[in-house]
A and B are shown apart, each in its own frame.
Chain A
């Protein structure tokens, strides 16, 4: 080869001079980064195809089953199981019994055998009523407390398993076992995405590491992988392989892309009626657009100092969680449908030193969470954004032995608290009641299926109409038995 005197313009000009047909020129005329969305065209083939090549599943916006009040979701996942009687559901009787034996059958407590069950443990913090609604909250959540009138607190959730693994599967996918799609996957399967340049379902992990159960917290299960959560990496390039992991001058990248596009075009022109080839070419342009969009979405440099401090960005304890909350707002602002925020492992799982451990977990999250709510509210986004705060189960009214000490609480599947806000949730509501110890639900129980059905309802999806046929079975997030949409907590 001679040393080339070619200029880029010549290169592209030569390639589009008609030698490869009209379709070719058309492709080159398209704005590479602007063009049509990657999944805008529904490929031919019909959505019923279950086997065979090229699945037509995509992320184009889909019609809702009924008018929605929420367009997007931010799930603040509190891994490990926050203690309801210490944070949201005050139990004066329990305080009075501190140090006394559990009056009922100890076999109904905990999940680690009866030998380790200690005595009743009073609430660790001071409670007060907040807002016009007078919602109870402990003094370790001073910032969230100020948003009480926007929260819809459910104190009567219950689940089916006292183990983290299974309870996590349950709260995310409605089933106790691995391999089922999560709420986020069902949501984007049902609704598609408003932004084709960013993933529809984004996961923001703690830089310190993955949560318990790892990637299974955002799996698409048996749904096509296009519906699974995309973790944005907390450090470096946000999406796996988003930027080349090797050194290459940008003009090389550009020429290589041009070459690939043209090779594919030659391939495609000779193979008409194969929509999957179009989709593939588009997936390459989406990949390119994503580089720009993701970078822009994740750049918090243009946020004001006031906004940053609202979220606690820059303060050592809240910086990490605050950044993720702020990113979540930026993502839903850009049409991302579902954002999940996780903490590393399970900071709420306080078998030991509950008082200190919960206080620390609150310090990490309270201000950023309240900042997010306030920011969403002032930008008007809270009207269409559903915020979910909660974990996979609650904690027992008794202390539990760990080593030689009794300073924490065990897992409790029979009652736990969660709150939702925005997106059509009725602010200032406290729903459901537990017994005098906070151990069991006694009024208005909300199963995980009920909870999911209610969240889907806010998103304009009907739990029964949202299904996927697999091996002749209609699979649903909410299972076989019809759940109940908790209409009392909707505005």
Chain B
């Protein structure tokens, strides 16, 4: 203690001297602070808890000069030539360190450190920088980045493989790639230094960049040293205690398995207890009509038809409510509604995104159908996850005698891990950083969606708030390395599988050939018509333009717009202007050709739909030859750190790797089995997160708020659950009931909690303003799908056909995206539309259909005027209102003699699943009379306007 005091006093004196003399205290002749005398004790006292040789939070060891120069996870040295450039000073000066919950450094301590850095970090011992011995892991990352595309798993140009020292020694057609001890005589160094490798003309083709000299120097040093190989096992959690994550971190409630609470045995017990404790009680049960509408919209996303409504309204069975729930859970429309939530979680899209061409994913819909079907079948959730995470490692389909439906399903399920934005199909966007982004998106989907954890931060540095070290992110990444390998990347062309049952193949052979030739014919006719249309436009609007120029315009269109000459640009612009002329200005022949093209397009689409789907599956599968996984310091692809093996966040375990990775088919196709091991761990009944996260999600979709508010954040920063015992009880019930999602619906929907009224009393508002205690049912706005599907249902325009190719859309010049009708003139449910990332149907977009970036865990609900404008003024909505009016007329009696009251009653039953109140009835009859007068006696028009207003009303858009 006394020693330290002396040191401190010394520091104070020195510090004072330094400030008066500027940044160069050594110029005063006084001794500068040195590491051993001044800094080391200070760091040991103030920083040693987290940054010692033993505990290296953020990878940082401040106990030695070597540790300081090595730096932390960012890969940068902590000190630099000047104070301003020194990360150490920056962290201290910005108040980042010590962290806010630790006492701050004193001014004197800060100045001491500052002076020491300014003096050039003096130390008693010369820093042994170069003494580090090199091994193969100092050069492998570079070879993977620069060389193995041509000399690795996929290609062996010149017969050469550069993935191991042995293979380098063995060499290729021109001899060994290296001679240990003789870098300049080694072929690989010669070729690299002469820039023959990587070859200039292949850099872009194979997405590699030339190594910087520093990397080449390391390679030479390694060869000089005899190309030593060390047997370094990948870093995984072992029996050794984990210094980065301590047991205290593991005590967080969400990292402990759920415990069976003693206090209650039903949802209502848990909710009721909390309400009573707050001096509240359950709200009265909602009316039967309200419950019918609520449960229909909740479970199938559409209102009941009038006869269904009547059935449940008049049903005398005392168990009518649970019968209704059961019936709706058995409906195929249930999966269309609840599968959609899962598609949000997976980040489903019908296109790749990323680049402006936004290429279509032609068979993504198979995954969509798989999800819907799984929900309809009530596939146990553990199995559902197993298939999506490791479907390719469940059955050895590559060695199967006969392909079965189950194998196909397993492979389709793995599409889950391929849903993110993927620009690596681009001519110029397939470098390692872009591939890493795709992998990081897949990790985000898995961690946020299935585990309720945000791991994104740990990609670049240890998590600031949650005990997830940088290292754990890369262990987690290693789980996926067998299939998502940035150094062994499947291009768009090679990432689909052709897998189909024999029966499926027979059907393709029988049905498709004639349709294919028909398709070809139609397409060529359409191409001709399009050409014709352009010529007609030009000839009509520019009669003075020579015919040669017309032809030149067509030729110019085949040139990419940025490669056109000025003359070509001008010609194309003239054509665009002609196309923009309003319909009234276009000659009849143009209109006719346009109609013809549109008709051909419909035909083409119909033929496509008649074809048997090709056996193509967009899948993810293990290649059985993972590249080594290195920690990437600072998240940078070219700053490799330690070698790591597969593992999960340490905080979710007892510190050891919770699974053993074994290849699933030892005598069959080589696979790592890493994802299978992970999936089995994730679906273990005692997993602390899996069941909790899923029941919380189900709860959220029923009540609009989760028991844990942030569905993707069960970590330390997330809000604790409003009803912790209830959450645990539900999680345990979920597993106990065979991971059945439908059982969870039954539990929730049959509870008194769910059957409450939504009206809020003043007392509730005062005591429970956010409704966290669930003193009433929340009022909710329809989401985009429910709104559109309900509008179509009310109008009688829904086409109930399920599955298959997504319905096409069209985009007008202003970017308005509308949906094309199906063959029968109807529209299918919203889940079956084409969701190209850049062309989301405007109606869906307006009502908060999310950007999948990479996925959407919880949608936002906005209230903006474009929504009002769309429902009021859009012609498609108007048309639906007219159809709705026709149904009202029919239900009310079928002719003009129906009384206003009967009409209003019918309209309310169809659209709002209830009878109008007295006020509503009298307002409505008055309004009908007024509207009829406004429409000069046209009662049909009056009814249409009335129906249109009803579809705009809050009563329609909101669910009690």
A357-398 vs B: 1/0 string, CB under 8 Å?
Answer: 100100000000000000000000000000000000000000
Q: Is B105 an interface residue (CB 8 A)?
A: no
Which residue of B354, B565, B851, B865 contacts A286 across the interface (Cβ within 8 Å)? B865
A203-239 contacts to B, CB under 8 A, are 205, 207-210, 212-216, 219, 221-222, 224-226, 230-231, 233-235, 239
Closest residue on chain A to residue B933 by CB atoms: A4
Interface size on B, residues (CB 8 A): 122
Q: Is A300 an interface residue (CB 8 A)?
A: no
Binds A, one of B241-249, B546-554, B614-622, B809-817: B809-817
**A264 in contact with B953 given A287-B869, A473-B454, A473-B456 (CB within 8 Å):** yes
Binds B, one of A45-53, A418-426, A442-450: A45-53
Q: How far is the CA of A346 from the CA of B560 in the complex (A)?
A: 11
Complex contact A273–B765 (CB within 8 A): yes
**A207 in contact with B566 given A50-B858, A57-B862 (CB within 8 Å):** no
Chain A hits for B764, CB < 8 A: 273
Which residue of B713, B866, B934 contacts A230 across the interface (Cβ within 8 Å)? B866
Complex contact A214–B838 (CB within 8 A): yes
Which residue of A166, A357, A472 contacts B717 across the interface (Cβ within 8 Å)? A472
Q: Is B946 an interface residue (CB 8 A)?
A: yes
Q: Is A130 an interface residue (CB 8 A)?
A: no
Q: How far is the CA of A9 from the CA of B580 in the complex (A)?
A: 44
Complex contact A52–B842 (CB within 8 A): no
Interface size on A, residues (CB 8 A): 115
Q: Is B602 an interface residue (CB 8 A)?
A: no
Closest residue on chain A to residue B876 by CB atoms: A245
Complex contact B949–A240 (CB within 8 A): no
Closest residue on chain B to residue A206 by CB atoms: B576
Which residue of A212, A271, A280 contacts B759 across the interface (Cβ within 8 Å)? A271
Which residue of A219, A263, A472 contacts B715 across the interface (Cβ within 8 Å)? A472
Binds A, one of B219-227, B523-531, B738-746, B915-923: B915-923
Q: Is B958 an interface residue (CB 8 A)?
A: yes
Q: How far is the CA of A247 from the CA of B814 in the complex (A)?
A: 22
Which residue of A55, A239, A287 contacts B861 across the interface (Cβ within 8 Å)? A55
Q: Is A352 an interface residue (CB 8 A)?
A: yes
Q: Give the Cβ gap from A444 to chain B, nearest Cβ, in Å.
A: 17
Chain B hits for A472, CB < 8 A: 454, 457, 465-466, 710, 712-713, 715, 717-718
Chain B hits for A234, CB < 8 A: 814
Complex contact B421–A179 (CB within 8 A): yes
Q: Is A29 an interface residue (CB 8 A)?
A: no
**A225 in contact with B933 given A216-B838, A357-B566, A471-B712 (CB within 8 Å):** no
Chain B hits for A209, CB < 8 A: 576, 813
**A240 in contact with B929 given A224-B860, A259-B923, A266-B919 (CB within 8 Å):** no
Q: Give the Cβ gap from A265 to chain B, nearest Cβ, in Å.
A: 9
Chain A hits for B861, CB < 8 A: 53-55, 276
Q: Which A residues have a C-beta under 8 Å from some C-beta of B?
A: 1-6, 8, 11, 14-15, 19-20, 38, 44-45, 50-55, 57, 80, 107, 111-115, 162-166, 177-180, 205, 207-210, 212-216, 219, 221-222, 224-226, 230-231, 233-235, 239-246, 248-249, 251-252, 255-256, 258-260, 262-264, 266-268, 270-274, 276-277, 279-281, 283-284, 286-287, 290, 344-347, 349-353, 356-357, 360, 402-403, 471-473, 480
Listed residue (B353, B713, B813, B866) with the most chain A CB atoms within 10 angstroms of its CB: B866
Complex contact A226–B862 (CB within 8 A): yes
Q: Is B448 an interface residue (CB 8 A)?
A: yes
B558-592 contacts to A, CB under 8 A, are 561-566, 569, 573, 576-577, 580, 582
Q: Is B690 an interface residue (CB 8 A)?
A: no
Chain A hits for B862, CB < 8 A: 55, 57, 224-226
Complex contact B562–A349 (CB within 8 A): yes
Which residue of A57, A205, A213, A283 contacts B868 across the interface (Cβ within 8 Å)? A283
Listed residue (A112, A221, A274) with the most chain B CB atoms within 10 angstroms of its CB: A274
Complex contact B562–A346 (CB within 8 A): yes
Q: How far is the CA of A353 from the CA of B567 in the complex (A)?
A: 10
Complex contact B933–A3 (CB within 8 A): yes
Complex contact B765–A111 (CB within 8 A): no
**A239 in contact with B869 given A252-B931, A472-B718 (CB within 8 Å):** yes
Q: How far is the CA of A209 from the CA of B575 in the complex (A)?
A: 12
Q: How far is the CA of A179 from the CA of B201 in the complex (A)?
A: 33
Complex contact B565–A352 (CB within 8 A): yes
B61-102 contacts to A, CB under 8 A, are none
Complex contact A11–B930 (CB within 8 A): yes
Which residue of A38, A112, A241 contacts B872 across the interface (Cβ within 8 Å)? A241
Q: Is B613 an interface residue (CB 8 A)?
A: no
Chain A hits for B429, CB < 8 A: 163, 166
**A245 in contact with B873 given A259-B949, A403-B563 (CB within 8 Å):** yes
Chain B hits for A279, CB < 8 A: 863
Q: Which B residues have a C-beta under 8 Å from some C-beta of A?
A: 200-201, 203-205, 210, 353-356, 421, 423, 426, 428-429, 437, 444, 448, 454, 456-457, 460, 465-466, 561-566, 569, 573, 576-577, 580, 582, 700, 704-706, 709-713, 715, 717-718, 758-760, 762, 764-765, 769-770, 778-781, 813-816, 837-838, 842, 845-846, 848, 851-853, 857-858, 860-870, 872-875, 878, 900, 917, 919-920, 922-924, 926-935, 937, 939, 941, 945-946, 948-950, 952-955, 957-958
**A231 in contact with B815 given A255-B934, A472-B713 (CB within 8 Å):** yes
Q: How far is the CA of A447 from the CA of B86 in the complex (A)?
A: 21
Chain A hits for B710, CB < 8 A: 50-51, 472
Complex contact A277–B954 (CB within 8 A): yes
Q: How far is the CA of A224 from the CA of B935 in the complex (A)?
A: 40
- 22 A-B Cβ contacts within 8 A? A11-B930, A55-B862, A107-B210, A114-B200, A114-B201, A162-B428, A179-B353, A179-B421, A210-B813, A214-B356, A222-B853, A225-B845, A241-B869, A260-B949, A266-B919, A267-B955, A271-B779, A273-B762, A274-B779, A284-B872, A356-B566, A471-B448
**A242 in contact with B869 given A216-B838, A349-B562 (CB within 8 Å):** yes
Q: How far is the CA of A20 from the CA of B927 in the complex (A)?
A: 15
Chain B hits for A166, CB < 8 A: 429
Closest residue on chain A to residue B898 by CB atoms: A1
Complex contact A1–B900 (CB within 8 A): yes
Complex contact A256–B948 (CB within 8 A): yes
Complex contact A263–B949 (CB within 8 A): yes
Chain A hits for B932, CB < 8 A: 1, 3-4
Complex contact B815–A210 (CB within 8 A): yes
Chain B hits for A51, CB < 8 A: 700, 705-706, 709-711, 858
Q: How far is the CA of A144 from the CA of B770 in the complex (A)?
A: 56
Chain A hits for B457, CB < 8 A: 472-473
Chain B hits for A280, CB < 8 A: 863, 868, 954, 957
**A471 in contact with B857 given A52-B705, A54-B863 (CB within 8 Å):** yes
Chain B hits for A273, CB < 8 A: 760, 762, 764-765, 769
Closest residue on chain B to residue A291 by CB atoms: B869
Chain B hits for A212, CB < 8 A: 356
Chain B hits for A356, CB < 8 A: 565-566
Chain B hits for A241, CB < 8 A: 866, 869-870, 872-874
Q: How far is the CA of A351 from the CA of B929 in the complex (A)?
A: 66
Closest residue on chain A to residue B837 by CB atoms: A178
Q: How far is the CA of A180 from the CA of B851 in the complex (A)?
A: 9
Complex contact A263–B955 (CB within 8 A): yes
Q: How far is the CA of A115 from the CA of B709 in the complex (A)?
A: 56
Closest residue on chain A to residue B764 by CB atoms: A273
Chain B hits for A287, CB < 8 A: 865, 868-869, 872
Q: How far is the CA of A70 from the CA of B824 in the complex (A)?
A: 55
Complex contact B953–A267 (CB within 8 A): yes
Complex contact A256–B949 (CB within 8 A): yes
Q: How far is the CA of A3 from the CA of B939 in the complex (A)?
A: 10
